[in-house]
Structure 1
Amino acid sequence: MLLWLLWLLLLLLLFLLPMLTMIGKQTSHKARLSWLASLQHRVAWRVLAWAAAWQRRRLEHSTLHVGQSQQQALTWCLQGAQGLRCPIRGSTDMSTFRNHLPLTKASQAQEKESEGHLPPPTSNQYHGETSLQATLLGLVALNKAYPEVLAPGGTARVTPTSPWPSPLPWPWRALGWASPTGAKDSETLLLEALRSPELRGLEAGTAVDLLDVFLDLESRGEELAAAIAVGNPGAPLPRRAAELRDALNQGSRGLALRLWPKLQVVVTLDAGGQAEAVAALGALWCQGLAFFSPAYSASGGVMGLNLWPEQPQGLYLLLPGAPFIELLPVKEGAQEEAAPTLLAEAQKGKEYELVLTDHISLTRCCLGDVVQVVGAYNKCPVVRFMYRLDQALSVRGEVTGENVFSEALAQAVGQWPGAKLLDHGCVESSILDSSEGSAPHYEVFVELRGLRNLSEENRDKLDHCLQEASAHYKSLRFRGSVGPARVHLVGLGAFRALREALTACPSSSFPPTMPRVLRHRHLAQLLQRRVVS
């Protein structure tokens, strides 16, 4: 389809070439360049809107005929299986498929990977029509909600990675965006954005990436201001450098709007482990701005697309096409393994775990990502991401889930004067051999803004909040079977170092899955070495 779009764009430009030649003879060089840029933007946007309209028609058909769309996705999975001895190979019967292929947990898939078997689903398997559809429809939805954001020069990206699942290099420059993915380093992109006070949209690969950008901006503000003042890159802008220094001197809260007074929306790609970064950005640097994610990514692949930028919390439409997605009912924080998987039959208000079929190994993998159905689009569920089942703590069989722990931690941090949580990670004491004869417990590492030291009273508040949130944990604490949670404050940049270590893994995908519970000792020790209080 991209080839057809390119041909259409070329034909339009050839059609307009005589007109450009005539106008070029009658106007000044500067006016001619401005008019040409405007024309390129309009042509590129028309082509993009045409492609999005075509994708919207396909979306309407697939979400109205869910059974047919799932059947086609299943056929694609079965045809893509390579070197597999399976009695259902070539069959397209849904019941046979589910009966012969049992569900596999993500942890089991990781064990197979370590044993040399085929890896679990990753992003490069699904960089197809789903990613393109999410990008095109996301752009149209963003333009409808914030028309000025997509005007020429209205948006800048500040990270080498893009939040759009399938970046389209050919209209990017004409639409006034930054260079294609990976073309520039973060510092150069940030400097280019800082030179443009008229920005209305800010893009970053993920919310965690954007958090790192603002932390860098504060720590290296004077260096960046000096570069802008002397013209690195571009012409010298001493006045803009002075504006940057003044904005930084006023603190973190509302910094983005002081730097870019017309800024309206921040675009990042949503995935597990991003909620705390979004909360920190919204409370501090990006206060007063809307956040929009064009898609939800799990295991590196697009699971759902966002058609509603105006919603304060991300809502995602689960697609019935490839990749082949199923929903497994969840009850009281655990899977109903005997329950059948669903999609169109999912009920509003219920929670389900995402199940993704790997078309190479033909493995039905429970991803651990739990979503809640909040509505429907035609006959397909619209969901909101809730938490991850595999990010639970358990030292005595208590199973403290990610959602329960995060709520308790947020409540505790709210009682620490002046503190704002930037990131956190947990470790079961057995991983670090830190029990030392005492009862097993949780080791909690937090990165904060506004608090440089943790008192014992503040540390104890987390354990009290955990007991209030979980009756089972409270019972174990009362009996002494579980010791009090130990809280450690790490220095700024500790979790960035953790993310860099995770990204360096050969099997890592984008966006990287951000763990809240660390299962490997070397990762836990990485945080332990950066404890400051």
Structure 2
Amino acid sequence: MFRHVEGVEKGKGMVFLLTGHETRTPGGLPIEPGTSWYLKSDYFKNRPSNWFYSYTSPDEIMLGSDLKQNLYCHLLCGLVQRDEVVRISSTFASGMVRVIKVLEDSWKELCLNIRSGYLSEWITDSGCRNAVSMVLGGQPRPNLSDEIESICSQKSWKGIMKKLWPQTKYIEAIVTGSMVQYIPMLEHYCSDLPVVSTIYASSESIFGINTYPLCKPEDISYTLMPNISYFEFIPMEGDNGDVLDLADVKLGSSYKLLVTNLWGLYRMRIGDMVKVTGFYNKAPRFRFLGRENALLSIDTDRTNEEYLFKAINRAKLVLESSDLRLVDFTSYADISSSDPGHYVIYWEVNVKNEDMKNLQFYKKTFLECCSVWRIHLTMNTGTVGLTNLSGLSR
């Protein structure tokens, strides 16, 4: 990124790295996210001393076992060093939105910790507690606390990230596929800061990099790196079962991705769907479309992730015309309470205009959203009942 953003190497990253919970297979083998393995690896423990690995948070916070405590401690360390932060990063856009929610709920307590120089008693993870206590050093910072309190007390939190961390150059998070839904929220809270997605990876392998990191989120594509893994492609159109090499893909075509990594030679159909959008020199560039098996399904109706988001975005326009903003959503297929079954969509919403906090949800608006949703999913007549849309305000 230092080639694209001036001065990014002259500060620290507020990077929300977290370890996930480890589970075990029936045979006793450990299963954990790729980021967890990375954070526990000898490479990370002995990582190079350069700008890319310069973080506001000590390692103990990243290795903590309690998500709420970890995020709180990440934020506290970042606020204490707010003038040194030049980049803010989370693995996924959903994680960044979660961070902002923790900030919304906890900023007053964070200010108290900064004012006193001591950490709240409810932080019980010993590693986190000892590490953050070293950062705070028992030193009261009343002026810093006043500055943060003044910013967070404003009615509107539009652009709050740049106000709290004024030297920040960009926000980094994966915003493709299912993370697309979080882009409007990031643009609201992080306005005037570019949202970049630099890498395409999973637990199986690193796949590619974004050679144009400052592009708009909707234009993000990745150049696959054949020196890391061997990539093959199954065309999404047609059932002939052909498997193509990287050199044989065609511009504008969509494929299911096969990956053979170089540590074990396992050939994996990971479920990702990608589309060729162009070329970097002679190397194909791909846009991530979504997951192959991410479906809502009732009877003969099949709704994949791509069509789900298109329908949500259409219905969201109706919602926003009533001064409401979609924060997040989830969905499931209900086949037990009605015949035919129907899709249930849960929306978390808040109000754009902070002076209208008492605005009630109007039945007409949600009925119109349901109508738009159904039209744009083009469901098979008779196999799916009317959509149930429920709203939750914040």
Map of 1:130-169 to 2, 5 A cutoff? 142-151=1-10, 153-160=11-18, 167=44, 169=47
Q: How does 1:210-225 map to 2 (within 5 A)?
A: 210-225=96-111
Match of 2:390 in 1: 488
1:411-436 per-residue CA deviation (whole Å, 9 max, x = no partner) reads 21221223222222221112xx222x
Residue of structure 2 aligned with 1:445, choices 336, 346, 354 = 346
Aligned twin of 1:461 = 368
In structure 1, list runs of 5 or more residues that go unmatched. Answer: 1-141, 493-533
Instruction: Report deviation, 1:481.
Output: 3.3
**For residue 386 of structure 1, what is the aligned residue in structure 2?**
289
CA contact (8 A) 1:269 1:297 kept: no
Asked whether the 8 Å contact 2:114–2:144 carries over to 1, the reply is yes
Partner Cα distance (1:323, 1:453) in 2: 53
Greater helix content: 1
Alignment of 1:190-339 (within 5 A): 190-198=75-83, 199-232=85-118, 233-234=136-137, 235-250=139-154, 251-269=156-174, 272-282=177-187, 284-313=188-217, 314-331=220-237, 336-339=239-242
User: Shift of the alpha carbon at 1:461?
Assistant: 2.5
Residue identity in the other structure for 2:225: L
Summarize the Cα distance change of 1:358–1:443 in structure 2 as closer, same or farther, 3 Å threshold: farther
Out of 297, 302, 316, the residue aligned to residue 413 of structure 1 is 316
Shift of 1:272: 4.5
| Higher RCO, 1 vs 2 (CA within 8 Å, ≥6 residues apart) | 1
AA aligned opposite 1:487:
L
Pairwise CA distance, 1:271: 6.5
Determine whether 1:355 maps to 2:261.
no
User: Is the 8 Å Cα contact of residues 206 and 274 (structure 1) preserved in structure 2?
Assistant: yes
Residue 273 of structure 2 aligns with an amino acid whose one-letter code is V
Provide the secondary structure at the position in 2 that maps to 1:394: strand
Query: C-alpha root-mean-square deviation of aligned residues, in Å?
Result: 2.9
Residue matched to 1:11: none
Tell me, what secondary structure is at the counterpart of 2:91?
Answer: coil
- The answer (yes or no) to whether the contact 1:158–1:203 under 8 Å persists in 2 is yes
Cα contact 1:447–1:491 (8 A) shared by 2: yes
Question: CA 1:441–1:362 in 2, change beyond 3 Å: closer, same or farther?
Answer: farther
Q: Please point out which of 49, 55, 60 is paired with 1:177.
A: 55
Distance change (3 Å), C-alpha of 1:324 and 1:271: farther
> Higher strand share goes to which structure?
2
Q: Secondary structure at the match of 1:222?
A: helix
Task: Indicate the residue corresponding to 2:71 in structure 1.
Answer: 186
SS of the equivalent of 1:369 reads strand
- 8 Å CA contact 1:271–1:298 kept in 2: the answer is no
Q: Deviation of residue 144 (structure 1)?
A: 0.8
3-state SS of 2:3 partner: helix
What is the 5 A alignment of 1:7-156?
Answer: 142-151=1-10, 153-156=11-14
Q: 1:212 to 1:402 in 2, by over 3 A?
A: same
Partner of 2:29: none
User: 2:253 aligned with 1:368, yes or no?
Assistant: no
Which residue of the partner structure matches residue 24 of structure 2? none
Aligned length: 337
1:343 aligned to 2:246?
yes
For 1:359 and 1:197, how far apart are their aligned partners in 2? 41
Q: What is the TM-score of this pair, normalised by structure 2? A: 0.76
Q: Report the structure number with the largest CA radius of gyration.
A: 1
Q: Deviations over 1:236-258 (max 9, x none)?
A: 22222122222222222111111
Identity of aligned residues (%): 22
- Cα displacement (A) at 1:354: 1.2
How far 1:491 moved relative to its partner? 6.5
Please list the CA deviations of residues 145-165 of structure 1 after superposition, one character each: whole Å capped at 9, or x if unmatched.
1121221x3422244367999
Counterpart of 1:101 in structure 2 is none
How far, CA to CA, are the matches of 2:106 and 2:200 in structure 1? 32
Q: Are residues 174 and 486 of structure 1, via their aligned partners in 2, closer, same or farther at CA, if it must alter by over 3 Å? A: closer
Partner amino acid, structure 2, of 1:419: L
Q: How far does the alpha carbon of each residue in 1:474-512 deviate from its partner, in whole angstroms, 9 at most, with x for none?
A: x51xxx4321111123476xxxxxxxxxxxxxxxxxxxx
Residues 462 and 485, structure 1, Cα contact 8 Å, conserved in 2? no
- What is the letter of the counterpart of residue 320 of structure 1? P
- 8 Å contact kept, 2:114–2:141: yes
* Separation in 2, partners of 1:428, 1:280: 26
Unaligned runs of 5+ in 2: 20-34, 65-69, 119-135, 352-356
- Among candidates 270, 278, 300, match of residue 397 of structure 1: 300
The answer on whether the counterparts of 1:349 and 1:372 sit within 8 Å (CA) in structure 2 is: yes
The answer to whether the 8 A contact 1:294-1:305 is kept is yes
